[in-house]
Amino acid sequence: MPILILLFIPILTTAQTSDNGLVAEWHFDEGSGNIVKDTSGNGNDGVIHGATWVDGKFGKALYFDGNGDFTISAWTYLKDWKIILI
């Protein structure tokens, strides 16, 4: 009788890790261009795809037309977690 052995080996890659503190902060108020500046000082700037600058309630804002666009928002406090997948 053949025996089937399945072995699962997790493969983890990390683009950047942070032990403490703020990793990135984006205000989305540049008003022009396709780069969103990271104001945390860590250099994690973002690139805008599929959105246009408009006048917002306070300064400038990004307008998403709803065609293929998405937004990710997260406030997290993680303590003693070893693996995080988003």
37-56 pLDDT, tens digit per residue, is 999 999 999 998 888 999 98
CA distance 84 to 31: 33
Q: What is the pTM of this model?
A: 0.53
- pLDDT at position 16 over 80: no
Average pLDDT, the chain: 75
CA distance 47 to 58: 21
pLDDT for position 22: 82
- pLDDT at position 34 over 90: yes
pLDDT for position 23: 85
- pLDDT at position 2 over 80: no
Query: What's the half-sphere exposure (Cβ side, CA atoms, 13 Å) at 14?
Result: 6
